[in-house]
Structure 1
Amino acid sequence: MTSQPSLAKADSGTASPGDPQSGHNGDNGDGLQAGLKNRHLSMIAIGGVIGAGLFVGSSSGIAAAGPAILISYALVGTMVVLVMRMLGEMAAARPTSGSFSTYADQALGRWAGFSIGWFFWVVVLAVEATAGAVILNGWIPAVPQWGWALIVMVVLTATNLVSVGSYGEFEFWFAGIKVVAIGGFVIVGLLAVFGVLPGSDNPGAGFAHLTDAGGFMPKGAGAILTGVLMVVFSFMGSEIVTLAAGESEDPQRAVTKATNSVIWRIGVFYLGSIFVVITLLPWNDKSIVKDGSYVAALNSIGIPHAGQVMNVIVLTAVLSCLNSGLYTASRMAFSLGQRGDAPRAFARTNSRGVPQAAILGSVVFGFVAVWFNYQWKDTVFDFLLNSSGAVALFVWLMISFTQLRMRGIILREEPEKLVVKMWLFPYLTWVTIAMISFVLVYMLTDEAGRKQVLLSLLAAAFVVVFSLVREKIRPRDEVEAEATEQVRS
């Protein structure tokens, strides 16, 4: 595998396939508009780690591993922190709408950028649309799952088609509500745990719940890794800030700030909130699975209308995740189109700097998820939940290998842009690769997750083989020559 040639800015301000975006005032050099403000990026970074999976998947994770699910969240959180640091190093040096797909293309070869781009693009929106439909159907069951998926897809497609600024504004408020809600939940819950919450009627709350129902690891140590597979899904979305940075006013500053703050964000929102749940209630309390972990916790301390309040918050989280999922998928498609690895129409923008064809192309996969919900409403979410966890691990593994090569390319071509550095390079990068690989291998030995992992591996293998065959038939040089000819004509 050889690295791609130096990506100098194209003449006349038009980006060639694979080029990083060149400027960030108005038109950023490839047609996208720098319409995201720093406040948008800050909230996208904070809210990006609070996915719908935190609300949907936490109940199943607690049921599967008991209090030891805290270790599962800590392990996955550690991997996310390390991967985000690697991604931040590359994104601060070369902000681009293609993010890790573009970096894989530059560092490992066209096959890698093509594979990771398509694999991630196809899955992310289908997962979020399905998660949203499941939650909303539980809230208002009169509307079927596929109906909810259809409604939210139509609404958020319209939002994204207006402008990147409208996406940023919607996400600013969506993410803000999530952040305030989870922060408030942690504070109120801890007050109840320590017995200082006025009016709390849960005298049994406390640290005893960590061990009083079969011990800290009631399902055994192996359940921790089973829990890892179940909670990985909830961390998907952390990467979005590195894509959004390409359309921001100051991408380097935004990426640096986001990657530096990822540790406390994961600590507060994930470990903090799950800790509150399992200290307010025994891990095997039936209400955790029946009502959802957060609603059950709030009900246990007598918070009035806890279910209705949490439903509104969950609705906001779902809309946020779908909004970001559509944005992420469309920008990945846009980048693939730029590099000649997707239809050229995907790389075109309208007068408002919106990649309209890429957005509509992404929506197609969202509607595929709607059809899945219609055909297999009782099984599709569990499959996507598990397989998307495997997809996230594959993406993080590819990011790790990419960073190993990309560090040398940046030092050789633009050393002054290496302002965010991976800690203890290359040792921690290899540690991350080993952690992710171990989890993937363990998943193959776990009966519950083997089928989903094998299907995910099969899908990944298909995409990689297709990309290699495609490169043989139509090399990158031929694609770039055709793109240059189109620009001239």
Structure 2
Amino acid sequence: MTKPNHYTHESQEKDTGLHRKLKTNQLTMIAMGCAIGTGLFLGSGLAIQTAGPSVLLSYAIGAFIVLLLMGCLAEMTVAHPTSGSFGTIADRYIHPYAGFIVRYSYWIANVLAVGVEVSAIAVYMRYWFPHTPGILWILLFGGILIYVNATNVHTFATFEYWFSMIKVSAVVLFILLGTYVIFGGSEQSGIGPSNFVNDGGFLPFGWWGMWVAIFISLFSFLGTEMIAVTSGEAKEPEIAVPKALKATVFRLSTFYVLTIAIMLMIVPWKAAGIDKSPFVKVMEILNIPSASGMVNFIVLTAALSAMNSQLYASTRMMFALAQERYAPSFFAGVSKKGVPIKSLLVSTAGIAISAIVSALLPETSYTVMMGISMFGAIFTWLMIFVSHLFFRNKWNQTNGRPLTIKMIGFPYLTILGGVLLLCLMITTWFTPFKPMLQFGIPWLLLLTIAYVLWKKRNATYHNATSSTSSDETVASTNQ
């Protein structure tokens, strides 16, 4: 009974420098803000091109995987509400090596994602200021969001709440406008449920196309795990976290499936793509003035929101690594306002990387950075399922306090989620997303070497410390 309580107590003690100020609605909007981004506003077009109308099944299955993931996370996060989150759990319940690679993979995923978003922001600003150098917008918006994250967690949450509110409102407006177009607002032919089976049927690319599109759909859901990362700064995490997780999964699933269904009924799937946002196409049908400018503002807000959340996530993960002595200890320091400033500064590396990659690979920089960051995120999800298996078994063996939240269908649904995710990762080798594994496999090898070197250095340090202590004790006794 003492072991689980010891774990929880230790986790909370290590996070006493962080302030617990986040409420349920803020946790939900942070996760929503991170997940509702270019994956919905633009990326859904790629998914439609890959699967046709069967993309609805792809997003439904993707939502099911996320639902299983959130169930596992809810159980573990309530038991251990720390900023290290799933990295800390992997460390304690699987092996320190697992915690090491999970946290560094998630950290690099968010660091690179920050670079991806800030690059996109520079592109969006060209709409209004075509002759202004993109590096100016990278530095300007990067500086603003660094300041927001450096003040205090409440300021961060407030900004993210309103960023997310704009995006959620845009999605709701799209659904209402789309419904108006379908059920009487337009006299144009070719609009309606018949588009689900036109041009090749519901499965124009077969089950393989539907399966591959599941991976694309998962990209749209990335960010929901942010709730677990923010749990270390949540008020009453045992209440706030489960509520936020449930609300996030339900809202995201509803928004994505409804939005794509409406999109397919208005715009034939062969006309969908990433050349233009589906939001723009619907507004063009409605003849809304300045539609492109409105959508550009929404997409800009989406990028700012995602960048804000990713900068927060990478900062807290580096903070957790330093607490566990997997990174230099000075990254574990916090300001008077409860913000790990040094961890924040090192996590802004993605902004610099983005500028360099954009200069060297102007045509493919976005794709390269996106593929690299995707591996870390999907690998983290897979390890969450694995961690849950170890967590529940070890927790039960200790006969500790009852779990407040339990994942239903354990262990079968946990295993199902992990197997589905692993199969999707392997699938990418046979698709245009192959660079993800081409980066990911060497990355894991590099982390393995780094862990071995860290372990040896740590062992040498402890031996030297023990030897010094012994010598001092002997000297004191002789005196």
Same fold (TM over 0.5): yes
Matched, 1:186 2:175: yes
Give the direction of change, closer, same or farther, for the CA distance of 1:201–1:47 in structure 2 (3 Å limit). farther
Deviation digits for residues 176-233 of structure 1, max 9, x if unmatched? 11112112211221232223x3xx4544321111121222222332222332333332
Read off the aligned partner of 1:165 and give its amino acid letter: H
Give the direction of change, closer, same or farther, for the CA distance of 1:149–1:377 in structure 2 (3 Å limit). farther
Give the direction of change, closer, same or farther, for the CA distance of 1:281–1:234 in structure 2 (3 Å limit). same
| More off after superposition, 260-269 vs 136-145 | 136-145
Which of 8, 15, 20 does residue 6 from structure 2 map onto? 8
1:122 positional shift? 1.2
Deviation digits for residues 3-28 of structure 1, max 9, x if unmatched? xx767379xxxx9xxx4124xxxxx8
Contact 1:146 1:371 (8 Å CA) reproduced: no
1:76 positional shift? 1.9
Contact 2:35 2:306 (8 Å CA) reproduced: no
Give the direction of change, closer, same or farther, for the CA distance of 1:293–1:460 in structure 2 (3 Å limit). farther
Contact 1:92 1:251 (8 Å CA) reproduced: yes
Which of 139, 161, 165 does residue 150 from structure 2 map onto? 161
Contact 2:37 2:302 (8 Å CA) reproduced: yes
Q: Describe the SS at the equivalent of 1:291.
A: coil
More helix by share: 2
Q: Describe the SS at the equivalent of 1:452.
A: helix
Contact 1:229 1:386 (8 Å CA) reproduced: no
Within 5 Å, give how 1:281-300 maps onto structure 2: 281-285=267-271, 288-300=273-285
Read off the aligned partner of 1:457 and give its amino acid letter: I
Alignment correspondent of 1:25: none
Give the direction of change, closer, same or farther, for the CA distance of 1:108–1:192 in structure 2 (3 Å limit). same
Normalising by the residue count of structure 1, what TM-score does the alignment of the two structures yield?
Answer: 0.87
1:346 positional shift? 1.0
Read off the aligned partner of 1:298 and give its amino acid letter: M
1:302 positional shift? 2.9
Alignment correspondent of 2:426: 441
Q: Distance in 1 between matches of 2:297 and 2:251?
A: 22
Contact 1:7 1:20 (8 Å CA) reproduced: no
Give the direction of change, closer, same or farther, for the CA distance of 1:234–1:263 in structure 2 (3 Å limit). closer
Deviation digits for residues 21-63 of structure 1, max 9, x if unmatched? 24xxxxx853111232343223224434313322232222222
Matched, 1:98 2:89: no
Which of 290, 296, 302 does residue 305 from structure 1 map onto? 290
Matched, 1:388 2:379: no
1:452 positional shift? 2.9
| More off after superposition, 178-187 vs 258-267 | 258-267
Alignment correspondent of 2:473: none
Contact 2:15 2:232 (8 Å CA) reproduced: no
Q: Distance in 2 between matches of 1:426 and 1:146?
A: 49
Which of 443, 446, 450 does residue 462 from structure 1 map onto? 446
Identical counterparts, % of pairs = 30
Q: Structure 1: 5+ residue runs without aligned partners?
A: 23-27
Q: Describe the SS at the equivalent of 1:35.
A: coil
Within 5 Å, give how 1:186-225 maps onto structure 2: 186-195=175-184, 197=185, 200=186, 202-225=188-211
Deviation digits for residues 100-128 of structure 1, max 9, x if unmatched? 11111111111111111111111213224
Give the direction of change, closer, same or farther, for the CA distance of 1:383–1:362 in structure 2 (3 Å limit). same
Which of 117, 125, 141 does residue 152 from structure 1 map onto? 141
Contact 1:202 1:301 (8 Å CA) reproduced: no
| More off after superposition, 33-42 vs 434-443 | 33-42
| More off after superposition, 334-343 vs 297-306 | 297-306
Which of 22, 26, 33 does residue 36 from structure 1 map onto? 22
1:147 positional shift? 4.1
Contact 2:374 2:436 (8 Å CA) reproduced: no
Which of 88, 101, 105 does residue 115 from structure 1 map onto? 101
Give the direction of change, closer, same or farther, for the CA distance of 1:142–1:47 in structure 2 (3 Å limit). same
Matched, 1:375 2:360: yes
Give the direction of change, closer, same or farther, for the CA distance of 1:129–1:7 in structure 2 (3 Å limit). farther
Read off the aligned partner of 2:87 and give its amino acid letter: S
Give the direction of change, closer, same or farther, for the CA distance of 1:303–1:472 in structure 2 (3 Å limit). same
| More off after superposition, 304-313 vs 76-85 | 304-313
Give the direction of change, closer, same or farther, for the CA distance of 1:163–1:395 in structure 2 (3 Å limit). same
Q: Distance in 2 between matches of 1:410 and 1:6?
A: 7
1:77 positional shift? 1.6
Alignment correspondent of 1:70: 56
Q: Distance in 1 between matches of 2:101 and 2:64?
A: 25
Give the direction of change, closer, same or farther, for the CA distance of 1:265–1:414 in structure 2 (3 Å limit). farther
Q: Distance in 2 between matches of 1:136 and 1:220?
A: 38
Q: Distance in 2 between matches of 1:477 and 1:408?
A: 33
Contact 1:130 1:149 (8 Å CA) reproduced: no
Matched, 1:451 2:435: yes
Paired residues in the alignment total 461
Which of 20, 28, 34 does residue 11 from structure 2 map onto? 20
Q: Distance in 1 between matches of 2:460 and 2:148?
A: 35
Read off the aligned partner of 2:152 and give its amino acid letter: S
Alignment correspondent of 2:477: none
Q: Distance in 1 between matches of 2:75 and 2:461?
A: 28
Contact 2:75 2:403 (8 Å CA) reproduced: yes
| More off after superposition, 164-173 vs 453-462 | 453-462
Alignment correspondent of 1:404: 389
Deviation digits for residues 319-378 of structure 1, max 9, x if unmatched? 111110000000000000000011111110011111000000101233212221222122
Give the direction of change, closer, same or farther, for the CA distance of 1:465–1:428 in structure 2 (3 Å limit). farther
Alignment correspondent of 2:329: 344
Contact 1:335 1:347 (8 Å CA) reproduced: yes
Q: Describe the SS at the equivalent of 1:304.
A: coil
Give the direction of change, closer, same or farther, for the CA distance of 1:153–1:339 in structure 2 (3 Å limit). same
1:157 positional shift? 0.4
Contact 1:240 1:328 (8 Å CA) reproduced: yes
1:139 positional shift? 4.7
Alignment correspondent of 1:329: 314
Q: Describe the SS at the equivalent of 1:354.
A: coil
Normalising by the residue count of structure 2, what TM-score does the alignment of the two structures yield?
Answer: 0.89
Alignment correspondent of 2:33: 47
Read off the aligned partner of 2:66 and give its amino acid letter: V
Root mean square deviation of aligned Cα: 2.6
Matched, 1:317 2:305: no
Q: Distance in 2 between matches of 1:476 and 1:221?
A: 55
